[in-house]
Amino acid sequence: MEPATPAPTIAAVAPRLLLTPLPHDGPETFAEYRARGGYDGLMRLLQDGTPEQLRREVAIAGLRGRGGAAFPTARKWELAANSGHDTRYVVANGGEHEPGSRKDRVLVERHPHAVLEGLMLAGIATGATKAWLYLIEDMHGPRAAAEQALRELDEQGLMHLPIALHLGPPTYVAGEETAALNAIEGKPAKPRKKPPFPGELGLFEKPTTVNNVETLAHTAWIARHGGAAFAAIGTTESKGTLLFTLGAEVRRPGVYELPFGTTFRQLIDDCGGGLANGRAVRAVLPAMSCGFVAAAHLDVPIAYETLRPLGSSPGCGGVRIVDDATDTVALTLEIAEFFMREQCGQCPPCRMETNQFVHILKAVQQGKGPGYQDKLQKLAEFSRKKGFCSLIEMAAAPVLSAVQCFAEDFARAAGPGTPAGS
Ligand SMILES: Cc1cc2nc3c(=O)[nH]c(=O)nc-3n(C[C@H](O)[C@H](O)[C@H](O)COP(=O)(O)O)c2cc1C
Ligand code: SF4
């Protein structure tokens, strides 16, 4: 009898818009990118397209920002295009410094031209006169790839917008868009108070569009293939593909590109090869600043509209997996300590909230009794919207969801007589 042919894994059948296979380990060259239609979208736009047409295609595509906040890209571009200033700028944000997320580094290091084409398209769509590619000092591979790609673009006479490369400091908060703008201006990389938003008053006091590098690479694909082709991939409200990073918890760690609508089970089992330690999955944290998704929902399609009712979101795709042997109180404390360390100190409510989260979680760990959930909730409510940036809300999301998702663990740790969720 013929041996059964194994079904193709989701990674093998998923459309790859960004991470196309390369025959080598280095960055995709200009010639390789052109050979697969790279820069066709830009050239078509320059020959007989208009910025309005490009913005319309991106609107049809339904593309949302991949930097974490999922803001509709076409709307951001429309606001910039209509800002009424003569001088405007665009920035590609590759400031990725979230533990567990490597997708932007991998994208820039392997496919720098897709990011640069997207950056030039964003510039043309918004009427910008200069662009910056923002990376972080410790990103040696992505930096080398970007420098080579910029040299190639220049040699080909395709630099339709001056692009400068800027390296920010290696902190989490330096990836926040206004912190990135400060870094480019030579100031400390700390977030600015908003409003004004960068689209109104950004770099050097000019309207500035900041987009994540993955978002921009998607716009290059959309300019080439059309918005409708992109919108045909994914789910009702979540279009296209998303880059996910899997860490050492799975047998095959790496960055995977999958369409929205893929399930966490497919991501973990088909792409990651299952948990490396052979244990069962108890929950998933789609990104550091999201809510935990319990294992009962592993077959829910990953999308903005499906994770929202579960108190989570796809985030930036730096997936963390909690197995059934994980000390969930210690994990939550580790996350809270990360945010306490990384907050930049400018806003007293953020300093207070992140410090107090750690204090309360340490008390739970030491068995010092009930009341923790109420205290954490009140702290988060008090702090909401009181920071210059959304780190203040990002720090609260995993902590508040952990005490619900792992209610029994917290009650047990907090000591005798503590009911779950007290
Ligand atoms: C603390 C903090 C860190 C952030 N880090 C990044 C980052 O590394 N890369 C990124 O693109 N966006 C990051 N963001 C989100 C950006 O501020 C911004 O929303 C994003 O770059 C916009 O691009 P998009 O619309 O294409 O998603 C961060 C936000 C916060 C509050
Ligand atoms: S909210 Fe926190 S991280 Fe953001 S600017 Fe204020 S102190 Fe810094």
Domains identified in the chain and CATH numbers: 27-231 (3.40.50.11540), 241-319 (3.10.20.600), 328-414 (1.20.1440.230)
Taking alpha carbons only, the member of 180, 168, 182, 163 closest to residue 138 is 168
Q: Which of 115, 171, 176 is the pocket-test mutation for ligand 1 (most atoms within 8 Å of CB)?
A: 176
Question: Which tokens sit at 301?
Answer: 């399609």
Inter-residue contact 346 to 388 (CB < 8 Å):
yes
Q: Which of 58, 93, 108 is the pocket-test mutation for ligand 1 (most atoms within 8 Å of CB)?
A: 93
Q: Which of 187, 289, 350 is the pocket-test mutation for ligand 2 (most atoms within 8 Å of CB)?
A: 350
| CA-nearest residue, atom 8 of ligand 2 | 344
Q: How far is the CA of 74 from the centre of ligand 2 (A)?
A: 28
* Ligand 2, residues at Cβ distance < 6 Å: 173, 191, 343-347, 350, 387-389, 391-392
| Strand ranges for 126-186 from DSSP E | 130-136, 163-168
* Ligand 1, residues at Cβ distance < 6 Å: 65-69, 71, 93, 95-97, 172-173, 175-177, 210-212, 215, 389-391
Taking alpha carbons only, the member of 312, 314, 319 closest to residue 239 is 314
| Residue owning tokens 């593909």 | 241
50 phi and psi angles, rounded to 5 deg: -130, 155
| Residue owning tokens 């792409």 | 271
Number of Cβ atoms within 10 Å of the Cβ of 252: 13
Number of Cβ atoms within 10 Å of the Cβ of 390: 17
Q: How far apart are CA 361 and CA 356, in angstroms?
A: 8
Q: Relative to the CA of 387, which ligand 2 atom is closest?
A: 1
Q: How far is the CA of 54 from the centre of ligand 1 (A)?
A: 23
CA pseudo-torsion sign 320, 324, 328, 334: negative
Q: Relative to the CA of 98, which ligand 1 atom is closest?
A: 8
Q: Give the model's pLDDT for residue 90.
A: 98
Query: What is the chain's pLDDT, residue by residue, as a tens digit (422 residues)?
Result: 445 666 667 777 789 999 999 999 999 999 999 999 999 999 999 999 999 999 999 999 999 999 989 999 999 999 999 988 889 999 999 999 999 999 999 999 999 999 999 999 999 999 999 999 999 999 999 999 999 999 999 999 999 999 999 999 999 999 999 999 999 999 999 999 999 999 999 999 999 999 999 999 999 999 999 999 999 999 999 999 999 999 999 999 999 999 999 999 999 999 999 999 999 999 999 999 999 999 999 999 999 999 999 999 998 889 999 999 999 999 999 999 999 999 999 999 999 999 999 999 999 999 987 899 999 999 999 999 999 999 999 999 999 999 999 999 999 999 876 665 55
Q: Which of 78, 212, 338, 343 is the pocket-test mutation for ligand 1 (most atoms within 8 Å of CB)?
A: 212
Q: Relative to the CA of 389, which ligand 1 atom is closest?
A: 31
pTM for this entry = 0.96
| CA-nearest residue, atom 10 of ligand 1 | 67
Inter-residue contact 208 to 89 (CB < 8 Å):
yes
Enumerate residues 6+ apart whose C-beta is below 8 A from 47: none
Q: How far apart are the first and last CA of the chain?
A: 60
Taking alpha carbons only, the member of 357, 313, 349 closest to residue 332 is 357
Taking alpha carbons only, the member of 16, 27, 17 closest to residue 216 is 17
Q: Give the model's pLDDT for residue 86.
A: 87
Q: How far is the CA of 120 from the centre of ligand 1 (A)?
A: 19
* Residue 189, amino acid: A
Number of Cβ atoms within 10 Å of the Cβ of 325: 9
Q: How would DSSP label each residue in 100-138?
A: T--HHHHHHHH-HHHHHHHHHHHHHHHT-SEEEEEEETT
